[in-house]
Amino acid sequence: MQRRAEKFAELIRDRAKSIRTVQRKYPLPCGRRSALHFIGLSFFALLCLGPRAASAAVGCALSNPVQDLKYLYPQMTSYKEELRDFSKMKDGRALYRALNERLGSDLDQLYEGYGTPYTVYTIFKGNEIIGLVHGVNVPGEGGLIQVILSMDPKSGAIRRVFFQRLESRAAQALRRNEFLDQFSQLTLADFYQHDYYQIAEPSSPKDRIARIRNPVAGDKGTGDYDATIRGVRKNLILLDFFVYNRRAEPFYQQTRSKLARMKSLRKAN
């Protein structure tokens, strides 16, 4: 619990840096002193509340959105930052359960709890939307991993994957472009279809996820490779909920139906 409290405190300090950076570019209505005063009070409250505060859900926002978004989209003229929180959404409980089911693994209550805030960045060139950026926290072998996706706003395909934070013995291998470039143009539909192929047709050339080469296979940090794959999938599921009006849902339901049929046939035989 103490380790989690320390990590939570560190994330608050990272967020403080983010607010100071953005303020130089886009002044906050409350002013610099008020903003930093609020951060100071928040950190003081964390120290006072102790383990109880440490159990609060922690979100993932860009540490320096102005610089990061301009780097990802050089044509950017402006951007919009929107917060999403299941606890404040209609049918939030149902969506949270749906995230758990579609992710296929338990949700960490510190980094993936019901009240976790998520930040969606919409990037503009004039009035035209030219990109979307979203990040998530996932627990890894060595600690916290922050996986950020840069998206094609129309197709829902990945443009680029990068780590904002990666505590791993395999960090050098996982940060290489040779690994990260393999995610380009993948969609959530590819991940849902992979669930079928890995059971029914393990060597299918149609399985785009199976083509991803693990740069640390059999070495230290393999768990962080798995966490990265999970983080990309989680990112795409959340964007499907928040932005794309669940356009990939038919692929999920189709996969479930196919697997159920296959299971039924095997029982019959």
In the chain, domain spans: 1-56, 57-268
pLDDT at 22 over 50: no
Give the pair of three-digit tokens for residue 257. Answer: 């139906």
Map residue 163 onto helix, strand or coil: strand
Tell me how long the chain is: 269
The reported pLDDT for the residue numbered 31 is 39
On the CB side of 17, CA atoms within 13 Å amount to 10
Question: What whole-number percentage of the chain has pLDDT above 90?
Answer: 71
For residue range 156-178, what is the model confidence (pLDDT) as tens digits?
A: 999 999 999 999 999 999 999 99
Give the pair of three-digit tokens for residue 220. Answer: 């230290």
Map residue 124 onto helix, strand or coil: strand
Q: Find tokens 């890894």 and name the residue.
A: 140
pLDDT at 35 over 90: no
- pTM for the structure as a whole: 0.80
Q: How far apart are CA 107 and CA 91, in angstroms?
A: 18
Mean pLDDT value across the chain: 84
Q: How far apart are CA 157 and CA 236, in angstroms?
A: 9
The reported pLDDT for the residue numbered 267 is 79
For residues 176-204, average pLDDT: 96
Count H helices and E strands in the chain, helices first: 10, 5
Cβ-based burial of 168 (10 A; exposed 0-12, middle 13-18, buried ≥19): buried
